[in-house]
Amino acid sequence: MTTLKTLAAVLAIAAAPIAFAAGAMDGMDMKAPASSSKASHPVPAEIRKIDAQAGKVTLKHGPIENLGMPAMTMAFPVKDRASLSRFKEGDAVLVTFGKIGGSPTVLEMQRK
Protein backbone atom coordinates (compact mmCIF):
# COMPACT_ATOMS: atom_id res chain seq x y z
CA MET A 1 0.00 0.00 0.00
CA THR A 2 2.76 2.38 0.95
CA THR A 3 4.55 1.62 -2.30
CA LEU A 4 1.39 2.26 -4.31
CA LYS A 5 0.78 5.57 -2.59
CA THR A 6 4.37 6.62 -3.21
CA LEU A 7 4.08 5.64 -6.84
CA ALA A 8 0.85 7.59 -7.20
CA ALA A 9 2.51 10.65 -5.67
CA VAL A 10 5.52 10.36 -7.99
CA LEU A 11 3.25 10.00 -11.01
CA ALA A 12 1.20 13.02 -9.97
CA ILE A 13 4.35 15.13 -9.68
CA ALA A 14 5.76 13.80 -12.95
CA ALA A 15 2.50 14.51 -14.78
CA ALA A 16 2.29 18.16 -13.71
CA PRO A 17 4.91 19.55 -16.15
CA ILE A 18 3.37 17.52 -18.98
CA ALA A 19 -0.05 18.96 -18.22
CA PHE A 20 1.44 22.44 -18.22
CA ALA A 21 3.17 21.89 -21.57
CA ALA A 22 -0.05 20.63 -23.11
CA GLY A 23 -1.92 23.62 -21.74
CA ALA A 24 0.70 25.96 -23.15
CA MET A 25 0.29 24.49 -26.62
CA ASP A 26 -3.49 24.78 -26.44
CA GLY A 27 -3.26 28.47 -25.72
CA MET A 28 -1.91 29.50 -22.35
CA ASP A 29 -3.71 32.87 -22.30
CA MET A 30 -7.13 31.31 -22.60
CA LYS A 31 -6.67 28.82 -19.79
CA ALA A 32 -4.57 30.65 -17.24
CA PRO A 33 -6.52 32.36 -14.46
CA ALA A 34 -5.80 36.09 -14.49
CA SER A 35 -4.27 36.09 -11.01
CA SER A 36 -1.67 33.43 -11.80
CA SER A 37 -0.77 34.09 -15.41
CA LYS A 38 2.87 34.31 -14.33
CA ALA A 39 2.84 31.07 -12.34
CA SER A 40 4.69 28.06 -13.67
CA HIS A 41 5.09 24.39 -12.99
CA PRO A 42 7.54 23.51 -10.19
CA VAL A 43 11.26 23.95 -10.95
CA PRO A 44 13.82 21.55 -9.42
CA ALA A 45 16.23 23.27 -7.05
CA GLU A 46 18.61 22.65 -4.19
CA ILE A 47 18.58 24.72 -1.02
CA ARG A 48 21.98 26.31 -0.46
CA LYS A 49 21.12 28.68 2.37
CA ILE A 50 18.12 29.62 4.48
CA ASP A 51 17.72 33.04 6.10
CA ALA A 52 14.55 32.65 8.16
CA GLN A 53 14.94 36.14 9.67
CA ALA A 54 14.96 37.84 6.29
CA GLY A 55 12.49 35.33 4.81
CA LYS A 56 14.94 34.44 2.06
CA VAL A 57 16.27 31.24 0.60
CA THR A 58 19.31 30.77 -1.64
CA LEU A 59 18.56 28.20 -4.32
CA LYS A 60 20.59 26.48 -6.99
CA HIS A 61 17.72 26.37 -9.46
CA GLY A 62 17.04 25.00 -12.93
CA PRO A 63 15.71 27.21 -15.74
CA ILE A 64 12.60 29.19 -14.67
CA GLU A 65 10.49 29.53 -17.80
CA ASN A 66 7.91 32.00 -16.52
CA LEU A 67 10.65 34.36 -15.27
CA GLY A 68 12.85 33.88 -18.34
CA MET A 69 15.75 32.93 -16.07
CA PRO A 70 18.43 30.35 -16.85
CA ALA A 71 19.79 27.93 -14.25
CA MET A 72 21.84 29.64 -11.53
CA THR A 73 22.33 30.03 -7.79
CA MET A 74 20.68 33.06 -6.19
CA ALA A 75 18.63 34.25 -3.21
CA PHE A 76 14.85 34.67 -3.38
CA PRO A 77 12.33 36.16 -0.97
CA VAL A 78 9.77 33.57 0.14
CA LYS A 79 6.05 34.40 0.08
CA ASP A 80 5.27 32.17 3.08
CA ARG A 81 8.37 32.67 5.17
CA ALA A 82 7.05 30.49 8.01
CA SER A 83 7.31 27.55 5.62
CA LEU A 84 11.11 27.87 5.73
CA SER A 85 11.13 26.11 9.11
CA ARG A 86 10.25 22.88 7.29
CA PHE A 87 13.45 22.92 5.25
CA LYS A 88 17.18 22.67 5.75
CA GLU A 89 20.24 23.45 3.68
CA GLY A 90 20.97 20.72 1.15
CA ASP A 91 17.31 19.77 0.62
CA ALA A 92 16.29 18.91 -2.94
CA VAL A 93 13.06 20.76 -3.63
CA LEU A 94 10.51 21.62 -6.30
CA VAL A 95 9.77 25.34 -6.38
CA THR A 96 7.01 27.40 -7.94
CA PHE A 97 8.26 30.90 -8.76
CA GLY A 98 6.34 34.05 -9.50
CA LYS A 99 6.73 37.80 -9.23
CA ILE A 100 5.51 39.80 -6.27
CA GLY A 101 5.96 43.54 -6.52
CA GLY A 102 8.04 42.93 -9.64
CA SER A 103 10.55 40.74 -7.80
CA PRO A 104 11.15 37.03 -8.43
CA THR A 105 9.69 35.25 -5.40
CA VAL A 106 9.27 31.69 -4.15
CA LEU A 107 5.49 31.13 -4.12
CA GLU A 108 5.59 27.49 -3.11
CA MET A 109 8.26 24.98 -2.21
CA GLN A 110 8.11 21.26 -1.45
CA ARG A 111 10.70 18.60 -0.80
CA LYS A 112 11.28 16.32 -3.78
Of 1-9, 16-24, 63-71, 90-98, which part binds Cu ion (CB under 5 A)? 63-71
Give the DSSP letter string of 49-94. EEETTTTEEEEEE--BGGGTB-SEEEEEEBSSGGGGGG--TT-EEE
Residue 75 within binding range of Cu ion, rule CB under 5 A: no
Residue 72 within binding range of Cu ion, rule CB under 5 A: yes
CB nearer to Cu ion: give 74 or 100. Answer: 74
CB nearer to Cu ion: give 74 or 92. Answer: 74
CB nearer to Cu ion: give 11 or 72. Answer: 72
Of 7-15, 20-28, 48-56, 69-77, which part binds Cu ion (CB under 5 A)? 69-77
Residue 71 within binding range of Cu ion, rule CB under 5 A: no
Cβ within 8 Å of residue 105, ≥6 positions away: 76, 77, 78, 79, 97, 98, 99
Name the burial class of residue 48, with classes exposed (0-12), middle (13-18) and buried (19+) by CB atoms within 10 angstroms of its CB. Answer: middle
Interacting residues with Cu ion (CB under 5 A): 69, 72, 74
